[in-house]
Structure 1
Amino acid sequence: MNTALPPRLSILIATANSELSSTLAAMLRRLGLTNTRIARDSAEAFRLLSQSPYDAMILDSAIGPEDGIAVTRRVRLNAAAPNRAMAIVMVSGDMPPEQTKDARDAGIDEFIRLPAGAQILAARLETAIAAPRPFVVSPDYAGPDRRRREEPIDGKDRRAPLKRPSKPQGPTT
């Protein structure tokens, strides 16, 4: 399968569901991405994140004991974390819209509603890694710029202008 993703990407799959982990790892292999590790719970995910740099994490919303939203917040808000700016793609079989919004507000880059195939996984990873949105840091948020497009507003815009990278920039490990 053709993809714009560099084959040397290092990806952490974090899900308590072993069948889902195996399926995601197999899809990544079909995409030519073989440098993957699997974490079975949030504690193992944090241990692996503290040991090695990763370009992306595919995170189950219901990983446990912390949920995927809490994991994302901990990764993003820890200024000393070496993987703070990695791409985070959250997967979930059934997530209400308010939780999807909470996940976005915690700092996920992309979201995949399961079941999904390798093409969807590749598209979300490409968006998050090959064409990332600028990384924003504020006192209560760190993660990709939540604005997907610039729109005119009524009144004064207090936000800094959105800066798009001139060429795809992503981690290269």
Structure 2
Amino acid sequence: MPLAPAPAAVDLSKVKALVCEPSLPIRQGIRLALNNVGIRDIVEATTFLTAHKACQEGDHDFLVLNQEIEANDSTFIMRELRSGALGRDPFILTVMLLSSREEPKVRSVIDCGPDDLLLIPFAPDQLMNRLKVLVERRKPFVVTHDYIGPDRRAAPRPGATSATQFQVPNPVRARGTNLSRDRYDRLKQDSLVAIGVERIKRLAATMDWECNALTVSAREGKMTAESTYRSLFKLEQVATELATRVTKQLGHTTETIDGLVELCRGLKSSPSNVAFSDIEIITQTSRRISGTYTAR
């Protein structure tokens, strides 16, 4: 029986890293950790604007990003990266730093899609070890209507369907094993297409869920201006992203989706006057749209 081929050695000296961290002592510790594993090509960003610009324009494989830069929440940057709205590679390997154990902040970091997180203060060895693990065993990604990132669930929640997992490319490993840029770009494009289709399905299903919630609330006499506004705002957001994605990825026209967006926008301006007949129109329109995309 032939032996399995040995895994390719990873030369981290070829890796390009971006460190978005305002504190000089923390940056020095990160640089030490990266140097210790062979990474020398390191760009530093110390303000929110320079961090955003570096993520947008850089060709980096590994990102260390503080959750808070100049009192700005950097989870916005991470979400934009994962969604493909920012930067060249939504699969950039990322460790996010946070300085608080407070549950809302920890949850916010987890929900924005980094590969791992580290609590400040941390030793350089901790970052080195996290990076080594991520290079060898990156978690597969999952997609929902509001999340794209590593699957951290030990098991599906009771009653929930198991989310499809996607094996995504690892830019650090690719660079460190001399994978050709053309080959990496093909892997990246294949993953983008698969994840994009799944995102479209999830967005369409979310529209149905929001419409059902509105209908139930109206029938039970539990509608309030605030709850109606929230639902309409959510529908508008979801439909707007859906229109963008089906145009870009599938080449579809979006008149019906655009009509739903405008309808939600108009009703949202006076949520206390939304009638059950308005909800029925929204629901019927949403069902026509979701019927086209949920079964793809």
- Interval containing the TM-score (normalised by the shorter chain): 0.7 to 0.9
Change (3 A) 1:5 1:142: farther
Change (3 A) 1:156 1:101: closer
User: 1:30-82 CA deviation, whole Å, 9 max, x = no partner?
Assistant: 22211111011221122122222211111112213532222212222234631
1:158 CA displacement:
4.3
Higher relative CO (Cα under 8 Å, sequence separation at least 6) belongs to 1
Runs (5+) with no aligned partner, structure 1: none
Q: State the alpha-carbon separation in 2 of the partners of residues 153 and 45 from structure 1.
A: 36
In the alignment, is residue 111 of structure 1 matched against residue 117 of structure 2?
Answer: yes
1:5 CA displacement:
6.8
Q: TM-score, normalised by structure 2?
A: 0.49
Change (3 A) 1:130 1:170: farther
Which one of the candidate residues 131, 139, 152 is aligned to 1:133?
A: 139
1:108 CA displacement:
1.4
CA contact (8 A) 2:98 2:118 kept: yes
Give the partner amino acid of 2:113: G
Give the partner amino acid of 1:146: R
Give the partner amino acid of 1:159: A
In the alignment, is residue 28 of structure 1 matched against residue 34 of structure 2?
Answer: yes
Structure (1/2) with the larger strand percentage: 1
Structure (1/2) with the larger helix percentage: 2
Runs (5+) with no aligned partner, structure 2: 1-9, 176-296
Q: State the alpha-carbon separation in 2 of the partners of residues 83 and 118 from structure 1.
A: 26
In the alignment, is residue 159 of structure 1 matched against residue 172 of structure 2?
Answer: no
- Give % identity: 21
1:7 CA displacement:
2.6
3-state SS in 1 of match to 2:13 = coil
Q: TM-score, normalised by structure 1?
A: 0.80
Give the partner amino acid of 2:39: L
Change (3 A) 1:40 1:155: closer
Q: State the alpha-carbon separation in 2 of the partners of residues 61 and 141 from structure 1.
A: 17
Alignment of 1:11-90 (within 5 A): 11-64=17-70, 66-79=72-85, 81-90=87-96
Change (3 A) 1:130 1:154: same
- Report the RMSD for the aligned CA atoms in angstroms: 2.6
CA contact (8 A) 1:134 1:164 kept: yes
CA contact (8 A) 1:11 1:35 kept: yes
